[in-house]
C-alpha cells in the first residue's frame, strides 16, 4: 500500500486524515509487536524503519528461545513474520531513517530522510545497536561464534571452550552463566584486576571452569567460517592464540539509539530512555520500548511484551483516559 508523505503545516499539510494515530520509530521486535496491537485496534499505524537487517533481531543469526517458534529460526525470518502479522492487520511499514523529531506538540512531527510524518502518538523502539565493531574479525564472524548475549547463545557452546571479553558486572555474570554449558570459559580482562562487584569477582575467581586472563586485551577474532580462536595480548606485549569456539564481547556495551531526539527526552547516565509503568516517557503520548530502555533484559520476548504494553497504554491515552495502565494486578 502507498504511504503518503505529508506536507508540513506551513505547506498546507496536517489535515486530520494526514495524521497517523501512532508513528512507531523502529520496526524491530518491540516496534513491530506494538504495531500488531495498534493496527489490530484499528489505529492508523505507521512504522518507520531503516531496514530489515539493521537492528539486533534482524541481524541475529539464529533464535531458538522465542515462544511458539520451535527449532532455530534466523532473526530476520522471525522479524518478517512479526511484521507480516502487523501488516495483515493494516499497519504500514516504510523503510526510512528517522533524522529528527519534534515531540512536544499535540501532533508529533517525525522527520525522516524521505519526508515528514505526523502522528498523535509516537512509540520509540530504535533498540541499542550503537556499538562500533572495534575488534578485527568481530563483525565478519558475528552470529558465527561472535555474540553479545550468553543468555541467547550460550547453549550453542555445550562442552566447548569460549572466551568472554569485558570487565563489568554484565560481562562477569554472562561468563558465569556460560559455565553451565561450556567446558572452559576464558575471561579476558583488560585491567590488572577485576572491576566487577566484590561478590561476583569472588565467585568468578573461584569457579573451577573459569580461566581469568588479567591485563589482557582481545586483539583479533580468528576463523574462516566460524570462530576458531582469539588472539590476545597480555600487558608487556606477550601474544597468545587461545582456541575457542565462541567469543562473547562486552567491551563497550550497546548504546541506545536516541540521536534523532536531540535531547527532548531525559536519559540515564548510560543514555537509556526512561519510562513510567505504562511505558510512557516524560512527554505525554510518547512511549519507549525495547532495548532503548534501561533495566531491561535484552531478549526478543521482553521487547515484544513491552511493545504490547505501550500499544495498550497508547489506546487509553488516545481515548482520553487518565489512567494509562489498566489494573493488571
Contacting ligand FAD (CB under 6 A), which of 38, 45, 121, 126?
126
Is 322 annotated in the active site? no
Q: In the range 245-264, which residues lie near ligand FAD by CB under 6 A?
A: 257, 260
Least distance from ligand FAD to the Cβ atom of residue 169, Å = 18
Contacting ligand FAD (CB under 6 A), which of 24, 34, 57, 273?
57
Contacting ligand FAD (CB under 6 A), which of 51, 84, 243, 326?
51
Residues 6 and 2: their CA atoms lie apart, in Å, by 12
- In the set 96, 153, 272, 291, the catalytic residue is 153
Binding to ligand FAD by residue 47, rule CB under 6 A?
no
Q: Which of 319, 320, 318, 303 is nearest to 129 (CA)?
A: 303
Name the residue with the smallest CB distance to ligand FAD. 28
Residues 325 and 309: their CA atoms lie apart, in Å, by 8
Contacting ligand FAD (CB under 6 A), which of 22, 34, 55, 310?
55
Binding to ligand FAD by residue 26, rule CB under 6 A?
yes
Three-state secondary structure readout of 265-300: CCECCCCCECCCCCCECCCCCEEECHHHECCCCCCH
Q: Which of 254, 304, 264 is nearest to 286 (CA)?
A: 264
Contacting ligand FAD (CB under 6 A), which of 24, 28, 249, 317?
28
**Window contacting ligand FAD (CB under 6 A); options: 2-10, 19-27, 178-186, 308-316:** 19-27
Place of cell 506538540: 105
Is 152 annotated in the active site? yes
Least distance from ligand FAD to the Cβ atom of residue 329, Å = 26
Long-range pairs of 258-261 with CB within 8 A, sequence gap ≥ 24: 258/124, 258/126, 258/292, 260/25, 260/98, 260/99, 260/100, 260/101, 260/126, 261/101, 261/103, 261/124
Binding to ligand FAD by residue 204, rule CB under 6 A?
no
DSSP reduced 3-state for 103: coil
Q: In the range 272-291, which residues lie near ligand FAD by CB under 6 A?
A: 290-291
Number of neighbours of residue 82 by Cβ within 10 angstroms: 23
Number of neighbours of residue 14 by Cβ within 10 angstroms: 16
**Window contacting ligand FAD (CB under 6 A); options: 46-54, 101-109, 166-174, 236-244:** 46-54
Least distance from ligand FAD to the Cβ atom of residue 98, Å = 4
DSSP reduced 3-state for 90: coil
**Window contacting ligand FAD (CB under 6 A); options: 208-216, 231-239, 298-306, 314-322:** 298-306
Residues 309 and 65: their CA atoms lie apart, in Å, by 21
Binding to ligand FAD by residue 129, rule CB under 6 A?
yes
Number of neighbours of residue 109 by Cβ within 10 angstroms: 20
Phi, psi of 232 (to 5 degrees): -125, 155
Binding to ligand FAD by residue 147, rule CB under 6 A?
yes
Residues 269 and 272: their CA atoms lie apart, in Å, by 8
Binding to ligand FAD by residue 119, rule CB under 6 A?
no
> Which residues are annotated as catalytic?
149, 152-153
Binding site for ligand FAD (CB under 6 A): 25-31, 48-51, 54-58, 60, 63, 65, 97-98, 125-127, 129, 143, 147-149, 152, 257, 260, 290-291, 298-301, 303
Amino acid at each position: 500500500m502507498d504511504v503518503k508523505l505529508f506536507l508540513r503545516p506551513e505547506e498546507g499539510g496536517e489535515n486530520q486524515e494526514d495524521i497517523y494515530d501512532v508513528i512507531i520509530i523502529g520496526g524491530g521486535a518491540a516496534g513491530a509487536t506494538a504495531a500488531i496491537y495498534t493496527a489490530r485496534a484499528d489505529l492508523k499505524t505507521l512504522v518507520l524503519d531503516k531496514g530489515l537487517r539493521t537492528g539486533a533481531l534482524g541481524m541475529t543469526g539464529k533464535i531458538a528461545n522465542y515462544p511458539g517458534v520451535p527449532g532455530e529460526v534466523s532473526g530476520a525470518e522471525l522479524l518478517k513474520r512479526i511484521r507480516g502479522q502487523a501488516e495483515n492487520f493494516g499497519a504500514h511499514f516504510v523503510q526510512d531513517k528517522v533524522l529528527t523529531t519534534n515531540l512536544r506538540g499535540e501532533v508529533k512531527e517525525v522527520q525522516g530522510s524521505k519526508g515528514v510524518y505526523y502522528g498523535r502518538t509516537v512509540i520509540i523502539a530504535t533498540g541499542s545497536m550503537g556499538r562500533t565493531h572495534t575488534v578485527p574479525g568481530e563483525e565478519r564472524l558475528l552470529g558465527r561464534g561472535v555474540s553479545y548475549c550468553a543468555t541467547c547463545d550460550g547453549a550453542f557452546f555445550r562442552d566447548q571452550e569460549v572466551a568472554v571479553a569485558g570487565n563489568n558486572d554484565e560481562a562477569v555474570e554472562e561468563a558465569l552463566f556460560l559455565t553451565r554449558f561450556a567446558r572452559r570459559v576464558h575471561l579476558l580482562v583488560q585491567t590488572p584486576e577485576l572491576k566487577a562487584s566484590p561478590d561476583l569477582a569472588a565467585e568468578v575467581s573461584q569457579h573451577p571452569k573459569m580461566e581469568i586472563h588479567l591485563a589482557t586485551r582481545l586483539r583479533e577474532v580468528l576463523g574462516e567460517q566460524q570462530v576458531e580462536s582469539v588472539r590476545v595480548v597480555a600487558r608487556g606485549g606477550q601474544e597468545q592464540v587461545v582456541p575457542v569456539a565462541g567469543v562473547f564481547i562486552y567491551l563497550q556495551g550497546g548504546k541506545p539509539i536516541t540521536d534523532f531526539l536531540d535531547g527532548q527526552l531525559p536519559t540515564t547516565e548510560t543514555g537509556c530512555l526512561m519510562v513510567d509503568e505504562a511505558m510512557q516517557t516524560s512527554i505525554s503520548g510518547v512511549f519507549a520500548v525495547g532495548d532503548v530502555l534501561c533495566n531491561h533484559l535484552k531478549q526478543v520476548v521482553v521487547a515484544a511484551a513491552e511493545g504490547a504494553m505501550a500499544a495498550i497504554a497508547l489506546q487509553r491515552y488516545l481515548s482520553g483516559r487518565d489512567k494509562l495502565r489498566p489494573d493488571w494486578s
